[in-house]
Amino acid sequence: MRTKSRFHLPALLPFLFLLAACGSGDQSRNLEMVAGGGGIDDAVLANADADDANWLTYGRTYKEQRHSPLTEINEETVARLGLAWSYDVGNVRGLEGTPLVVDGVMYATSAWSVLHAIDARTGEQLWTHDPRVDRGHARYACCDVVNRGAAFYRGKVYTATLDGRIVAVAAESGETVWETQTTPKGEAYTITGAPRIADGRVLIGNGGAEFGVRGYVSAYDAQTGELDWRVYTVPGNPADGFEAEALEAAAETWSGEWWKAGGGGTAWDAIVYDPELDMVYIGVGNGSPWYARLRNPGGGGGDNLYLSSILAVRASDGEYVWHYQTTPGDNWDYTATQPLMLAELEINGRERRVIMQAPKNGFFYVIDRETGEFLSGTSYAEISWATGMGDDGRPIENPAARDLAGGVFVQPGPNGAHNWHPMSYNANTGLVYFPVYDHSFVHRVNDAWSYDPRTYNIGLDFKNRTADAGEDVTATGRLIAWDPVAGREVWRVEQPLPVSGGTLSTSGNLVFQGRADGTLSAYRATDGEVLWEFQHETGIAAPPITYSVDGTQYVAVLSGWGGPEVLFNSPLGQGNVAPSRVLAFALDGSASLPPPQPPFPPIEAPRFQLAASAADVDAGRDLYAPNCMRCHGADVVNSGATPDLRRSTTAIHESFADIVLGGLREPLGMPAFDDLLNAEDVRLIQAYVLARARESAGGN
């Protein structure tokens, strides 16, 4: 296996020609292509903007603007939009994926990294591919067992699995062509992001910073699965030497023995490729642990490069070119892994090739993507961690938010003012469309924290969540249209629930977006007026797409509630758990859905009795937070498809220890925690769960 020991990323050569067969809406090209999409090569992907029928990559084109030139569905006709078909993915877990559509076939991923091939005209299942993810690995998923999509290249579909594999699947048959383990097997890495293709290579990052790992991005030969190169995003142990000069320079901004907890910096979502510049841009995540003073004990260190940064490297060999750090010395889980978008904008009378991002920290950035020059950074949300942006592109910090003495409310919280939910850009309106989440969070540092590879390593004091400063903020959400040149909001739509999904823009002067309450809406792109709505029975977080088959335009979206939203108890639409589905719409569509699931009944007081004192319940709460909350919700309030423990039956409570310690339900995704908890710990957690059930029943 050839591995280049440098600071790298993949290679992609610029293509300076257009294929006439790739003309807009040209279905003849589809008929001439090799069966199974074998003609989707580097030239086609580099010029995907010329193909309005298909949705070939995660962001439709390499620029990831998520804008379609299709106009059959437009502001005049959208009122006729109706359900064309639906497809049940076979579970009730969260869906975050962007489907691909290649020559009339849709490729959609669902929970547990399962890949579905669907007839894009009818919704008929063609095949499914289940990579059989180790269900016990769910304990390392910070935010559900979700998957954000696939990549397509030369007749193969590429998916990444929660347990760290890249799998190449034959597009025609659904059979595995090759697979390779891209993370250390059994360690606390996960993958939920979509792979990208660049000049015959498959690019993939990973997650796991909350548990304490070292982030990196890998490139694999798309035909063989052979590892070509790997780029690390934070420096490792200096005693082992550095993989590149850029990492040696980065190490000067760290102190102490940061590498023992990995350092973090996982690239769990955004990876964008520019074939003209031969550049790849990586969105780099938070530190491990979250808090700078724990990563750099004794007050040393500094910016901790390349945490919370946009990192640019040569696609041909992975050589470092530039970086821009959105949150120097990140102290609040303000990742820069949020969607990256390429565009050409006229700024001060000069056309600039830019990269745009609205990361968690609340600032919207426009950066010159050739040089890394900071062009603008303006707050798009209410923030308290900083008071503004310096001319040098460095945020002006609020000292109290850096010190976090005694516990401080900081806005936005770790879920970010904008998270992974894709945004879209319409060059005709000059506007970027994305959801905004206003909320705050109590940051209280656990100065007694020590690294434990089996569990959370964020350094948060779970036992004492009081605050001595700041103000709790009522969570709200909205959709905004943002002018990236002027650096200002143009319009907004306040939404009934705080968290909503990604967006799609079209040349029909439309913006599509789903919401937590199951509503899919079409807005007029110029002013935000609601023109059409459809109600599904479960929440929508995934971004819509649009495509055309046989001259008919469709809009499709994955509907299934889960992901990080369950941590903050954002509700399911109708108060039930409905099947997760793919929904496809067309003009005059007349399909119908099965009758909705009945809503949850009121929570009843548990009959199971367990002797426990008030102190036991408090101790159980402190154990529940770091071990159970990430799947079952804060305060034992679950808004996702994993079990709401307040509703546990007597039989469940009688088997509680066997489930938590013995792995009785590991095949269903509930791993054993016998390496972290003992029987007394389980008793205390159960006492807390029972207490919360009684409290909830009393409030009915």
User: Does residue 20 lie within any of the structural domains?
Assistant: no
Q: How confident is the model at residue 8 (pLDDT cuts 50, 70, 90)?
A: very low
User: Is the same domain home to 438 and 496?
Assistant: yes
Least confident of 243-252, 300-309, 521-530: 300-309
User: Is the same domain home to 532 and 638?
Assistant: no
Give the pLDDT confidence score for residue 300 in this predicted structure. Answer: 61
Give the pLDDT confidence score for residue 38 in this predicted structure. Answer: 82
User: Is the same domain home to 545 and 618?
Assistant: no
User: Is the same domain home to 170 and 301?
Assistant: yes
User: Does residue 415 lie within any of the structural domains?
Assistant: yes
User: Is the same domain home to 578 and 633?
Assistant: no
What CATH number has the domain bearing residue 59?
Answer: 2.140.10.10
User: Is the same domain home to 544 and 687?
Assistant: no
Q: Which residues contact 693 (CB under 8 A, 6 or more apart)?
A: 603, 605, 606, 636, 645, 646, 647, 648
Least confident of 22-26, 97-101, 643-647: 22-26
Boundary-marking domain end, from 587, 622, 649? 587
Q: Where are the alpha helices (DSSP H) in 454-555?
A: none
- pLDDT above 70: residue 572: no
User: Is the same domain home to 545 and 628?
Assistant: no
Q: What is the pLDDT of residues 143-161, one digit of tens each?
A: 889 999 999 999 999 999 9
> Could you check whether the bond before residue 289 is cis, i.e. omega within 30 degrees of 0?
yes
User: Is the same domain home to 479 and 544?
Assistant: yes
Q: What is the pLDDT of residues 35-76, one digit of tens each?
A: 478 899 999 999 999 999 999 999 999 999 999 999 999 999
Average pLDDT over residues 182-200: 96
User: Does residue 599 lie within any of the structural domains?
Assistant: no
Give the pLDDT confidence score for residue 23 in this predicted structure. Answer: 35
Q: What is the pLDDT of residues 434-447, one digit of tens each?
A: 999 999 999 999 99
| Percent of the chain predicted with pLDDT > 70 | 92
pTM score of the predicted model: 0.92
User: Is the same domain home to 271 and 181?
Assistant: yes
- pLDDT above 90: residue 6: no
- pLDDT above 90: residue 376: yes
Boundary-marking domain end, from 568, 587, 606? 587
User: Does residue 170 lie within any of the structural domains?
Assistant: yes
User: Does residue 21 lie within any of the structural domains?
Assistant: no
288 SS3 class: strand
Q: Where are the alpha helices (DSSP H) in 303-442?
A: 399-403
Do 500 and 490 meet the contact criterion of CB atoms below 8 Å apart? no
569 SS3 class: coil
User: Does residue 10 lie within any of the structural domains?
Assistant: no
Boundary-marking domain end, from 552, 587, 622? 587
Give the pLDDT confidence score for residue 575 in this predicted structure. Answer: 57
User: Does residue 12 lie within any of the structural domains?
Assistant: no
- pLDDT above 70: residue 637: yes
Q: What is the pLDDT of residues 124-148, one digit of tens each?
A: 999 999 999 999 898 898 888 999 9
Which residue range forms the structural domain that includes residue 540? 48-587
Instruction: Report residue 512 as tokens.
Output: 């599509």
Give the pLDDT confidence score for residue 27 in this predicted structure. Answer: 35
Average pLDDT over residues 288-306: 88
Average pLDDT over residues 445-456: 92
User: Is the same domain home to 452 and 515?
Assistant: yes
**CA 585, CA 540: separation in Å to the nearest integer?**
15
Domain count, the chain: 2
**CA 234, CA 515: separation in Å to the nearest integer?**
36
What CATH number has the domain bearing residue 682?
Answer: 1.10.760.10
Do 353 and 342 meet the contact criterion of CB atoms below 8 Å apart? yes
Instruction: Report residue 237 as tokens.
Output: 């142990």
Could you tell me the CA-to-CA distances from 181 to 7, 135, 167, 478, 534 in Å, in that order? 20, 16, 9, 39, 41
| Percent of the chain predicted with pLDDT > 90 | 80
Give the pLDDT confidence score for residue 618 in this predicted structure. Answer: 93
CB atoms closer than 10 angstroms to residue 588: 10
Q: Which residues are catalytic?
A: 333
Give the pLDDT confidence score for residue 289 in this predicted structure. Answer: 96
Instruction: Report residue 690 as tokens.
Output: 């029972």
**CA 473, CA 577: separation in Å to the nearest integer?**
28
**Closest listed residue to residue 182, CA positions, set 159, 149, 211:** 159
User: Is the same domain home to 561 and 624?
Assistant: no
User: Is the same domain home to 122 and 239?
Assistant: yes
Q: What is the pLDDT of residues 471-514, one digit of tens each?
A: 999 999 999 999 999 999 999 999 998 989 999 999 999 999 99
Q: Are strands 500-506 and 67-68 parallel, antiparallel or unpaired?
A: parallel
User: Does residue 604 lie within any of the structural domains?
Assistant: no
- pLDDT above 90: residue 561: no
Q: How confident is the model at residue 120 (pLDDT cuts 50, 70, 90)?
A: very high
